[in-house]
Amino acid sequence: MKRRNFLKKIPLALSLPFAINGIPLKVMANNPLSRLAQQGDSDRVLIILQLHGGNDGLNSLIPVEQYDHYYSRRANIAIPKSNSLRKYIPLDSTLPSNRQVGLHPDMQAMKGMYDMGKVAFVQGVSYRNNNGSHFRGRDIWFMGGGSDDYFSSGWLGRYLQQEYAPLEYPADFPNDDMLDPLGIEMGSDVSLIFHQENNIPTSLSLNDPVGFANLVEELEGFQDKDIDPRGKPPEFLDSSPYGKEMNWILGLEKKTDDYAKRLYEVYQAGGNTSTTYPEVYPFNAPTGSKRNHLSPQLRLIARLLAGGCKTKVFMVKIGGFDTHASQVESYDPTMGIHAALMYHISTAMKAFQDDLKVRGLESRVLTVTTSEFGRRVHSNGSYGTDHGTGGPIFVFGRGVNPGVIGNVPDMTRDNIEMQYDYRQVYANLLKDWMLVDEQKINNDIFFGNFIDGPREEGGFYQPLPLAVQVISSTDTFVQQRFYLGDCYPNPAKAQTAFTFMINAEGLVQVMLYDRSGKPIKHLVKQNFEPGEHSIPVDLTGIPAGLYIYKMNMGAFEQSKKLVVIN
């Protein structure tokens, strides 16, 4: 291929990602992201989950205590609380009344993750003077600034550029200590979040690693025998603008080839998963909403990490949240585009967490959402919602500090009030999860102290305990919400009783098993209100022996021993 023909392809190549197993990736090679794995001691991974278009937080987290106001403001799209087969899922009765929320009925998998201590919700996240613009809002969240700022760099790239200079690309990377790019972005956009001052991240189109390698090798260059066969100009031109640009392009060729081959190697080494990821929404949904586009992205990340990839920051994306019209179906507010999206996120994240656990990676990975704004409190006449301001953020992972932070939004207002600046969320995650020095967060990333510094509107920011620096058991969180008590009497003859506690209304099942694991009798199978319950059990006809009784409620399981005597 003639060099000039190759150069004609460069603009297109630089605007697209390459793909592994059909999933487009962007390699953030030409930036300090590639320096963290070499210089940092932590092997923790941060995933940014972009909810593209502005998620409607009020139909994700339904306000329980203000439900009547909620219904009056959006009656044509409100999620039912009763008298329906599909009604909101009560999240957690142990929370204060002003933090009581219900989940969309298609977020059952997220309820299960929450109950096991793997989800945190932050209410009312925004920035001052939010104007509800898709493009401007997205830039603000990615650059880590305020409404009046116009940074050319993003908050992740800015920190890493300050922290890991003076290593330079392409001369220093990849190397024996760091073979992988640190940042990988799914999709075809180049997000500002990874940009650095006076530098941009590199993204190349590489759907076929072998084909791209062949393309590089086929460059003919000039016909002069003194010219590099790849088209590199002679050394006396190196300092010229032409020479600098050509050296940069040729460096990208080599770097992309190296990273693509390496990622493909770790992908192969990761092996197939035993976890089943959801592929389609099981109920009625508009065309284009049925397929779960998040699952393959998360499955690929788990496989790359399992194969030894040291990449530290990933960005995954799911779109469709700009729901001005037909957010719900006219015949059922629990169905439609938004319902399918809630199902996709909940089930894909549940599968991802299960996959990480099976692969022994669960304690290394934390995922946090981002969305450029929330939606209005009131619905419109098109069964949709218009651009708003604040909304909730979701945080997933074994290292999350579970719970609900912030109060239910005020339903009498047009917009969701800001309770937390988005920079508070990310600054605290960088400090507690990525173990970033607090001074670097304040001075080099967000240009202000959003952890415990003064607020512009008065007072001080309070640290948000969203993640834990040292991962420990979540047993305390679970035991405060669920438990199965001992039988009394035990040993027992014809009668005994046991207690249990649940944190939300739901179906409770208690099964009696013999020592071999064979099911003997359903002791309980019915719906219960949240709270503690004492249940008498009839053991008439049960032969003497040692038994196990096992309680199931959602994702919670617990077993105890029972001895039956004659």
| Structural domain spans, the chain | 3-209+258-445, 482-564
The string over 322-335, giving b where at least 16 C-beta atoms fall within 10 Å of a residue's C-beta and e elsewhere, is bbeeebbbeeebbb
**Residue 26 burial by CB count (10 A; 0-12/13-18/19+): exposed, middle or buried?**
buried
What parts of the chain have a pLDDT lower than 50? 1-16, 29-40, 169-170, 200-225, 227
Q: In what order do the strands lie in the sheet with 495-502?
A: 483-484, 495-502, 531-538
The Cα 130–Cα 302 span in angstroms is: 35
Q: Are 157 and 30 in contact (CB under 8 A)?
A: no
* Sign of the alpha-carbon dihedral angle for 264, 266, 272, 277: negative
pLDDT of residue 176: 75
Of 71, 58, 102, 67, nearest in space to 506 by CA: 102
Of 476, 467, 402, 480, nearest in space to 436 by CA: 467
The Cα 335–Cα 341 span in angstroms is: 10
Whole-angstrom CA distances from 12 to 15, 243, 410 are 5, 21, 47
**Residue 560 burial by CB count (10 A; 0-12/13-18/19+): exposed, middle or buried?**
middle
Q: What letter would DSSP give residue 294?
A: S
pLDDT of residue 162: 66
The Cα 204–Cα 253 span in angstroms is: 9
The Cα 447–Cα 241 span in angstroms is: 34
| Residue 507: alpha-carbon gap to chain centroid | 28
pLDDT of residue 164: 54
The Cα 95–Cα 97 span in angstroms is: 6
The answer to whether the bond into 181 is cis (omega within 30° of 0) is: no
Q: Are 500 and 535 in contact (CB under 8 A)?
A: yes
In this structure, the number of other CB atoms found within 10 A of the CB of residue 94 comes to 16
The answer to whether the bond into 174 is cis (omega within 30° of 0) is: yes
The Cα 103–Cα 376 span in angstroms is: 18
Of 246, 310, 241, 302, nearest in space to 44 by CA: 310
Pairing of strands 101-103, 89-90: antiparallel
Name the amino acid, one letter, at 558: Q
pTM of the model: 0.86
**Domain 482-564 belongs to what topology?**
Immunoglobulin-like (2.60.40)
The Cα 232–Cα 250 span in angstroms is: 8
Q: How many alpha carbons fall within 13 Å on the CB side of residue 554?
A: 27
The Cα 430–Cα 437 span in angstroms is: 8
Of 348, 266, 277, nearest in space to 303 by CA: 266
Q: What percent of the chain has pLDDT over 70?
A: 79
Q: Are 365 and 45 in contact (CB under 8 A)?
A: yes
If DSSP codes are grouped into helix, strand and coil, which group holds residue 24? strand
What is the torsion angle, in degrees rounded to the nearest 10, for the CA atoms of residue 371, residue 50, residue 346 and residue 55?
20
The CATH code that applies to domain 3-209+258-445 is 3.40.720
pLDDT of residue 14: 41
**Can you give the length of the chain in residues?**
566
Q: What letter would DSSP give residue 331?
A: T
